[in-house]
Amino acid sequence: MSDTATHDHDSDHHGDHGPPKGWRRWVFSTNHKDIGTMYLVFALVMLFVGGAMSFVIRAELFQPGLQFVNPDFFNQMTTLHALIMVFGMIMPAFAGFANWMIPMMIGAPDMALPRMNNWSFWILPFAGVMLLSTLFMEGGAPASGWTLYPPLVLQTGNGFPFAMFSVHLLGISSIMAAINIIVTILNLRAPGMTLMKMPMFVWTWLITAYLLIAVMPVLAGGVTMLITDQFFGTTFFQAAGGGDPVLFQHIFWFFGHPEVYIIILPAFGIVSHIIPAFSRKPLFGHDAMVYAVAGIAFLSFIVWAHHMFTVGMPLAGQLFFMMSTTLIAIPTAVKVFNWTATMWKGSLSFETPMLFALGFLFMFTIGGFSGLMLAIAPADFQYHDSYFVVAHFHYVLVPGALFAAIAGAYYWMPKWTGHMYDEKLGKVHFWLSTIFVNLTFFPQHFVGLAGMPRRIPDYSTQFADFNMISSIGAFGFGLSQLLLVFIIIKCVRGGEKATAEVWDDPPGLEWTVPSPAPHHTFDEPPVIR
């Protein structure tokens, strides 16, 4: 798109003054770039907080028997690990990308609602601390798994209302961010940028934002009903009072399955930028990609009960949810095909962002295939609640969503900081991450198929070898991410000066502004021809 847009930087009225100094710059910021940075830093911190919990989990599972923690604390760790990684790490990471990149990609000067943007972010640290504080309360943190199923979650001690309020706050933050993104995209696109001319990352976030507004209130409603069941005498989910605990499962997964796509669609968007840039070709089938994303988003609303095949539902229900779930393979295959076709006969190069994007492509597809296996209702009766499920969703979320986020960070880091990152270290980071992530999660397929249940601190000795390998992989993967922190700090502090284009004629308006991007960009909208 850079060849179709003109933007005179000398006419930037705001390029000549910098941001406020000191802590006020961050606490009171209404600037989309600063808020984006805060989201990204918060996500990075939470990656290590959630990662520390996975270290506890994998240390306990290193050998059969109880080594380090009691079973209740183990379950608190699995619960908090998931809640923090989903709500505190990967969603804020993509919100950070949205804040930084969407205004620059559509030629807008900022997000449409900058004060609400500040509020959306600053709710997060308080919600995160509140959630973590439950660990220090009587009864500890919730130990029900991130699904918060009653009646188990209602057995949480004093931490229960705090955890529930924290989930509410995280939801409010997400909804406000989603509203901001939709309003920005619908109102602040540069003249000439029609919807179908929008870059894929913007498209994926537009659809993701609609998904957020559609499902976050459902989670909030479910959690509110948990609170009223616990404290106000209602019996929404208690059979003794005429309620139904399975209702909560439906509510949770009506939120939970679109949530999976809320996480993965922005990842699709990022990869859809990186693969064309390093193939030196336009994205193959841009419009088909848009329709595929919209199709995935639609289907995400009618597949939720595949998470609960074993709960006891009519055969017709199983058939419906099995078939609707397998349908998702079609638009997903369109995307995988288009990424591959983009590379076909391209002039490929393999810098770190491309390596992570390709890692995403291969390993997300492995997670997709195991998802298809799980979608088959009769087979799911075998796999349900086993480590096979753990392997499946970790493949989708770690070498899937997280790799895409890391790929995006390397891709745009020169634009953010004005410096090139250390390419050699970036490649080392990729290979360490790829080796260890497979070492961690691939053996979990085998122990799962052999019958090892999830969310247990002890297991039969027959699973010992694969669990040991998995734990070694997890420690290696976690420690490898320290290299990412080092690379980021090194890049922020200095390094080879980045040009405006950074890469070899990459598509997109963001590459028409200098590196680092000035504090204010596009005060006058660029012209899209």
Residues taking part in catalysis: 81, 110, 146, 173-174, 257, 259, 261, 272, 306-307, 332, 335, 454
Q: How far is the CB of 228 from other proteins (least distance, A)?
A: 9
Nearer to other proteins, 4 or 228 (CB): 228
Q: How far is the CB of 8 from other proteins (least distance, A)?
A: 17
- E strands, 133-176, are none
> Which residue among 82, 113, 406, 528 contacts other proteins (CB under 8 A)?
113
Is residue 235 involved in binding other proteins (CB under 8 A)?
no
Binding mask of the shown chain, residues 240 to 279, with x at each position contacting other proteins by CB under 8 A: -------x--------------------------------
Is residue 221 involved in binding other proteins (CB under 8 A)?
yes
Nearer to other proteins, 180 or 325 (CB): 180
Q: How far is the CB of 112 from other proteins (least distance, A)?
A: 5
The count of chain residues that interact with other proteins, using the rule CB under 8 A, is 36
- Which secondary-structure segment (H or E) carries 161? helix 159-187
Q: Which two tokens stand for residue 364?
A: 């997300």
Is residue 102 involved in binding other proteins (CB under 8 A)?
no
Nearer to other proteins, 385 or 523 (CB): 523
Q: How far is the CB of 247 from other proteins (least distance, A)?
A: 8
Is residue 114 involved in binding other proteins (CB under 8 A)?
yes
Q: Rounded to 5, what percent of the chain is helix, strand, coil? A: 70, 0, 25
Q: Is 64 left (phi over 0), alpha (psi -120 to 50) or beta?
A: beta
Binding mask of the shown chain, residues 375 to 394, with x at each position contacting other proteins by CB under 8 A: --------------------
Alpha carbons 38 and 128: distance in angstroms, whole number: 14
Pair 283, 272: CB distance under 8 Å = yes
User: Does the bond joining 64 to the residue before it have cis omega, within 30 degrees of 0?
Assistant: no
Residue with tokens 């995160």: 128
Is residue 216 involved in binding other proteins (CB under 8 A)?
yes
Q: How far is the CB of 183 from other proteins (least distance, A)?
A: 5
Is residue 188 involved in binding other proteins (CB under 8 A)?
yes
Q: How far is the CB of 20 from other proteins (least distance, A)?
A: 11
Single-letter amino acid code for the residue at 511: W
Alpha carbons 36 and 203: distance in angstroms, whole number: 18
Is residue 101 involved in binding other proteins (CB under 8 A)?
no
Q: How far is CA 521 from CA 253, 289, 423, 516, in A?
A: 40, 28, 28, 11
Q: How far is the CB of 475 from other proteins (least distance, A)?
A: 41
Is residue 520 involved in binding other proteins (CB under 8 A)?
yes
Which of 442, 328, 445 minimizes the C-alpha distance to 382?
A: 445
Q: How far is the CB of 96 from other proteins (least distance, A)?
A: 18
Is residue 236 involved in binding other proteins (CB under 8 A)?
yes
> Which residue among 27, 129, 213, 239 contacts other proteins (CB under 8 A)?
213
Is residue 218 involved in binding other proteins (CB under 8 A)?
yes
Which of 36, 468, 496 minimizes the C-alpha distance to 266?
A: 36
Alpha carbons 470 and 49: distance in angstroms, whole number: 20
Rg of the chain (C-alpha set) = 23
Nearer to other proteins, 38 or 377 (CB): 38
Pair 90, 510: CB distance under 8 Å = no
> Which residue among 40, 85, 98, 182 contacts other proteins (CB under 8 A)?
182
Alpha carbons 7 and 105: distance in angstroms, whole number: 13
Nearer to other proteins, 108 or 406 (CB): 108
CA atoms in the 13 A half-sphere facing the CB of 84: 31
Is residue 225 involved in binding other proteins (CB under 8 A)?
yes
Alpha carbons 354 and 514: distance in angstroms, whole number: 22
- Which secondary-structure segment (H or E) carries 6? strand 5-6
Is residue 109 involved in binding other proteins (CB under 8 A)?
yes
CA atoms in the 13 A half-sphere facing the CB of 321: 23
- DSSP 8-state symbol, 528: E
User: Does the bond joining 151 to the residue before it have cis omega, within 30 degrees of 0?
Assistant: yes
Alpha carbons 405 and 181: distance in angstroms, whole number: 18
Judged by CB under 8 A, the chain residues 19 through 58 that form the site for other proteins are: 30-31
Is residue 223 involved in binding other proteins (CB under 8 A)?
no
Q: How far apart are the first and last CA of the chain?
A: 9
The interaxial angle of helices 387-396 and 423-449, nearest 10 deg, is: 160
> Which residue among 177, 220, 289, 290 contacts other proteins (CB under 8 A)?
220
Q: How far is the CB of 188 from other proteins (least distance, A)?
A: 7
Alpha carbons 89 and 337: distance in angstroms, whole number: 29
Three-class secondary structure of residue 302 per DSSP: helix
Tell me phi and psi for residue 344, to 5 degrees.
-60, 120
Is residue 115 involved in binding other proteins (CB under 8 A)?
yes
Is residue 183 involved in binding other proteins (CB under 8 A)?
yes
> Which residue among 108, 404, 405, 437 contacts other proteins (CB under 8 A)?
108
Q: How far is the CB of 26 from other proteins (least distance, A)?
A: 14
Is residue 437 involved in binding other proteins (CB under 8 A)?
no
Is residue 217 involved in binding other proteins (CB under 8 A)?
yes
From the list 3-11, 197-205, 349-357, 520-528, the region that binds other proteins by CB under 8 A is 520-528
Q: Which two tokens stand for residue 95?
A: 């919100």
The contact set with other proteins (CB under 8 A) reads 13-14, 17, 30-31, 108-110, 112-116, 175, 178-180, 182-183, 186-188, 213-214, 216-218, 220-221, 224-225, 236, 247, 520, 523, 525
